[in-house]
Amino acid sequence: FAPWDDPNAKPLIRFRNVTKRFGEFTAIDDLTIDIYEREFFALLGPSGCGKTTLMRMLGGFETPTEGQIELAGKDIARVPPNKRSVNMMFQSYALFPHLSIWDNIAFGLRRGRMPKAEIANRVEEMLRLTRLEKFARRKPHQISGGQRQRVALARSLAKAPTLLLLDEPLGALDKKLRQDTQFELMDIQERTGTTFVIVTHDQEEAMTVASRVAVMEDGRIVQVATPDAIYETPNSVYVADFIGDVNIIVGRADPQGDKVHLNWAEGQPKFIGTPASPFEKGQTCHYAIRPEKISISAQKPEGATNTVEGKVLDIAYLGNISTYHVELAGGQVIKAQKANNRRISRRSFTWGDQVWLSWTDTAGILLER
Ligand code: ATP
């Protein structure tokens, strides 16, 4: 499933040079993006980057100042919310407290003047889809938070919208329930075939549920790709840092064939990595390396592309793995992760140990900014 790689695939949603200003303030800045049918598309970014504004324009609650928004080939930028086949599930769920779960799900269908028998069928189908059959007669305060979340989802899907917008849908759930619910969401999205666009500031959530993730910064999308492509080949320090843990070492580029060597400190071995874009000799660059891609050993490893010696400063024990903070000559600190071997001891190294770090030249990525 990768319609974005298919030149013949028609996008369901197209944003064309969309700008949204609130007075002098630009919340969305000349944004262009395509989203395909059946995608589970995540908008990810820090608070204030414009995720909700983008979503609200899709829902019809805001109109763009400039640009076009197309849904299934039609310009919908100025079409009101109730006239587009889009539904939005809000963080607060907004269930009616005095209505049963059954009636909450039926509410929108009744307002749409659907025949009674058809409503009943549809509600039963939604109850099955979200595994809520047992709770149909209860009121919202008589079920758990996770179940309420499922009611809200059932209600938003009842009218079979072309597109469902989810604004931080799992924000009110605790971590464990949140993780279980992420899998339920993915399952329901797959079974209904509805296109989902989710707003979240939780990078793990975006990476778990989404077919593609758009990382936003200051009203712009800075990278859009599949979760693994975003993780493995970020296009900037901002993206690398926003998604997961990363070491950034700043230095000067020395291009050698398809690799770049990084001069980062006098008298230290250069780090060899794979450039994300072309570099000129002497250009400032940022070398990004994920902690779990670095091996730690007591002896200098044979045959590794990048090796450097350092001293263990700090250790964070995380159960199955530990993160080691290793200080290199010149004060540069690098984080490296190692699986804990329980049969020997909890940790492989201790504070003050001299260790060797090593990694491959494909693990290190050179970024311009
Ligand atoms: P959060 O994760 O905190 O919800 P967000 O990425 O969803 O943030 P938005 O709610 O889209 O961010 O807001 C983007 C920017 O636009 C913010 O700086 C916000 O203050 C501003 N903004 C949003 N709505 C309005 C409005 N109606 N009038 C003025 N400024 C607004």
Tokens linked to 131: 């595994």
Q: Is the CB of 27 under 6 A from ligand 1?
A: yes
Please, which residues bridge with residue 17 across strands?
Answer: none
Tokens linked to 145: 């938070």
Tokens linked to 42: 């995540």
In this prediction the ipTM stands at: 0.96
Pocket-testing residue among 18, 51, 63, ligand 1, by greatest number of atoms within 8 A of Cβ: 51
Report in angstroms the alpha-carbon separations of 195 from 85, 205, 314: 11, 17, 45
Pocket-testing residue among 25, 92, 166, 198, ligand 1, by greatest number of atoms within 8 A of Cβ: 25
* CA of 25 relative to ligand 1 center, distance in Å: 10
* CA of 22 relative to ligand 1 center, distance in Å: 9
Q: Is the CB of 200 under 6 A from ligand 1?
A: no
The CB-based long-range contact list for 116-124 (8 Å cut-off, 24+ gap) reads 122/158, 123/158
Strand 66-71 versus strand 13-22 pairing type: antiparallel
pLDDT above 70 covers what percent of the chain?
A: 98
Q: What's the CA gap between 117 and 288, in Å, rounded?
A: 59
Q: Which domains does the chain have, with CATH numbers?
A: 3-240 (3.40.50.300), 245-367 (2.40.50.140)
* CA of 104 relative to ligand 1 center, distance in Å: 30
pLDDT of residue 171: 81
For the chain, residues with pLDDT lower than 50 are: none
Give the ligand 1 atom nearest the CA of 216.
Answer: 6
| Orientation angle between helical segments 175-192 and 116-129, nearest 10 degrees | 130
Q: Is the CB of 285 under 6 A from ligand 1?
A: no
* pLDDT tens-digit map of 21-47: 999 999 999 999 999 999 999 999 999
Residues 205 and 170 sit within 8 Å (Cβ to Cβ): yes
pLDDT of residue 34: 96
* CA of 27 relative to ligand 1 center, distance in Å: 7
Report in angstroms the alpha-carbon separations of 243 from 75, 126, 204, 322, 368: 33, 34, 8, 19, 17
Q: What's the CA gap between 103 and 136, in Å, rounded?
A: 8
pLDDT of residue 264: 94
Nearest residue (CA) to ligand 1, atom 9: 50
Nearest residue (CA) to ligand 1, atom 1: 47
Q: What's the CA gap between 218 and 121, in Å, rounded?
A: 45
* CA of 130 relative to ligand 1 center, distance in Å: 32
Q: Is the CB of 21 under 6 A from ligand 1?
A: no
Tokens linked to 275: 């450039």
